[in-house]
Structure 1
Amino acid sequence: MLMKISHSPVTQHTFEGRAFFLKRDDQLHPHFSGNKARKLMALLELEDKNITHLIGYGSPQANSLLSLAALAKMKGWQLEFYVDRVPWWLKDKPIGNYRMALELGAEVIAVSELTDSELHPHDYIQAHRLDEGCLLVPEGGRSPIAAQGVTMLAQEILEWAHNNKEESLCVALPAGTGTTALFLHKHLKANGIEVLTCPCVGGKEYLISQFEELGESCFPTVLESSTKHHFGKLYLNDYQIWKALLEQTGVEFDLLYDPLMWCCLNDWLPENQGKTLLYVHQGGLVGNESMLPRYQRKYGV
């Protein structure tokens, strides 16, 4: 039995003395939640009996791996998720998104073990795995298929804002490919709602190029941290923000993306006192299972 991805609750919290609202997309489904569930919603509703395999690629600890595994399980498809390689320690003791994806029946396939050529997983798929019955999802869900689910999210936000008579509303969320932020902006700008985001993978120019590849020319507001931030690298300040959010709100956030967004918001908020902030929780909590031990090993926290 399939379920619909919609109407997550909105809760109110305070962080560092500033009240904000939180769109709880992390509560959509235990495995299929957050921005990946929104971006893949169209596939959840897709009826095509010819599809037997879902094909994806990325990191063996990517949030998208778990979401695709959950989607495939719901649809009765087999997920083949191609990666460059799987570290020996992860194979030996599966953890986080990798562990749960395997439990859901995903096949995580290391391209380095299939060929002597140094092929990127995307290139390997293009050459060998675009067969009949295979449905390919781009890395991170950066695709026009995301529009349907994100449009529904925008409609829920508009409905909430109208019912609660919220004015001067700003919606914030971090960006990987920026797909969710871009499509939210497209639907909310006409209603005077500003969408704020920050580049977590690469810098502002890279994020803008991702927006442009989706064929749009009007973009959300991009905030940047005053300090250099490399994706996947551990920063003590990130952990401290994450821990403070947990302690002050009672809500667990993602350790990879959310701390950087909140770092940017902490600079933005003092200059925007009259605005109401709605933060979109994008899930990714299973990834903390592998991120937390890394912080503990490096910083002893």
Structure 2
Amino acid sequence: MQFQIENIPIQEVKLDFAKDVRLFVKREDLIHPFVSGNKFRKLTYNLAEANKEKQDTLLTFGGAYSNHIAAVAAAGKLHGFKTIGIIRGEELVRKVDSNPTLCFAVENGMQLKFVTRENYRKKTSEEFLTQLTEEFGRFYTVPEGGTNDLAVKGCAEIITENEKDFDTICCAVGTGGTISGICNGAYSHQQILGFPALKGDFLQKEISQYTSKENWQLMNDYHFGGYGKVSEELVTFINQFKQQTGIPLDPIYTGKMLFGIIDLIKNGHFAKQNRILAIHTGGLQGIEGMNQKLQRKGQKTII
């Protein structure tokens, strides 16, 4: 499969209630069916570095429904790397067959190792990495969520000359790598708004490690209770947005971002004539797993 990064579609979202601002979505989710959006951007230079170091194995970390785990597994298969996923939660070893993300990773050749949440918190320690090296041999480490200097470099390339005429760039925020890259790649007149998927104030510090720019702001009111938390209101919004625009959104990142952008527009946050660009960072593989959870609770699912 080929990666399509030239002329990525930018799709306008018609807003009947907004006469003074225009909203567009950059469809980075269309780069590739499995290695899409910011995951493609974050992995591009990391895979090149792994090749340069003559590494044949990628090792990374993630949770049960991690977009990153799925993307690394798919990218490894496409580019000839062995892949190892260190998965948070020992109990998941019995649930692989019923978990669409982990099933996908295994189908793409990823070897999974399940660790306790206590040990998972040690994932960046030298002792833990040494133990993994003793168990698996040499490997190239890709951090949880994919964020490092090379990932930020890749995410800076999301902003091209095609995006020069936009005033505001919006993106969902997980580990902070994507927004850091966008800040670095943005034009001087552009303001960057990040919509965190997690509760807490730690992201400010994380982002500041990767960018010295001051052209960004976090909108902290749209996490819907925290990472992986959804509500019927959010699911209804995602379904209506897809029906009206044809653009699918995931419930962890892009759904919350677009909900937040439209809420801000309705409340007059943006100046008149503002042209807003939302970056669609992919993550659609997570919909199936979320729907399983919603079905178990007897709640409305994502179409």
- After TM superposition, the score normalised by the length of structure 1 is 0.85
Question: Which residue is equivalent to 1:105?
Answer: 109
Does residue 1:151 correspond to 2:156, yes or no?
A: yes
Q: 1:213 to 1:151 in 2, by over 3 A?
A: closer
Contact 2:28–2:282 (8 Å) recurs in 1: yes
Secondary structure (helix, strand or coil) at the match of 2:212 reads: coil
Secondary structure (helix, strand or coil) at the match of 1:153 reads: coil
Secondary structure (helix, strand or coil) at the match of 1:198 reads: strand
**Mean alpha-carbon deviation: is it higher for 56-65 or for 267-276?**
267-276
Per the TM alignment, residue 15 of structure 1 is displaced from its structure 2 partner at its CA by 4.8
Q: 1:103 to 1:228 in 2, by over 3 A?
A: closer
Query: Aligned equivalents of 2:170 and 2:45: distance in 1?
Result: 23
Does residue 1:266 correspond to 2:262, yes or no?
A: yes
Query: Aligned equivalents of 2:98 and 2:250: distance in 1?
Result: 22
Contact 2:170–2:278 (8 Å) recurs in 1: yes
Q: 1:94 to 1:231 in 2, by over 3 A?
A: closer
The Cα RMSD (Å) is: 2.6
Unaligned runs of 5+ in 1: none
Contact 2:2–2:32 (8 Å) recurs in 1: no
Question: Which residue is equivalent to 2:196?
Answer: 199
Unaligned runs of 5+ in 2: none
Query: Aligned equivalents of 1:15 and 1:298: distance in 2?
Result: 33
Per the TM alignment, residue 55 of structure 1 is displaced from its structure 2 partner at its CA by 0.7
Identity %: 23
Q: What amino acid is the match of 1:300?
A: Q
What does 1:31-180 align with in structure 2 at a 5 Å threshold? Answer: 31-46=34-49, 47-48=51-52, 50-85=54-89, 86-87=91-92, 90-95=95-100, 97-112=101-116, 118-120=118-120, 122=123, 123=125, 125-130=128-133, 133-155=138-160, 159-162=161-164, 166=165, 169-180=167-178
Question: Which residue is equivalent to 2:247?
Answer: 251
Per the TM alignment, residue 134 of structure 1 is displaced from its structure 2 partner at its CA by 0.8
Query: Aligned equivalents of 1:202 and 1:213: distance in 2?
Result: 19
- After TM superposition, the score normalised by the length of structure 2 is 0.85
Structure 1 runs, 4 residues or longer, greater than 6 Å off: none
Secondary structure (helix, strand or coil) at the match of 2:103 reads: helix
Q: 1:15 to 1:24 in 2, by over 3 A?
A: same
Per the TM alignment, residue 299 of structure 1 is displaced from its structure 2 partner at its CA by 4.8
Query: Aligned equivalents of 1:53 and 1:93: distance in 2?
Result: 26
Query: Aligned equivalents of 1:16 and 1:244: distance in 2?
Result: 14
Question: Which residue is equivalent to 1:287?
Answer: 286
Query: Aligned equivalents of 2:47 and 2:190: distance in 1?
Result: 28
Q: How many residues align?
A: 287
Query: Aligned equivalents of 1:119 and 1:161: distance in 2?
Result: 42
Summarize deviations over 1:233-288 as a string: whole Å, max 9, x none.
23222212211211111111111112322232133214224211111111011110
Query: Aligned equivalents of 1:37 and 1:161: distance in 2?
Result: 19
Q: 1:280 to 1:217 in 2, by over 3 A?
A: closer
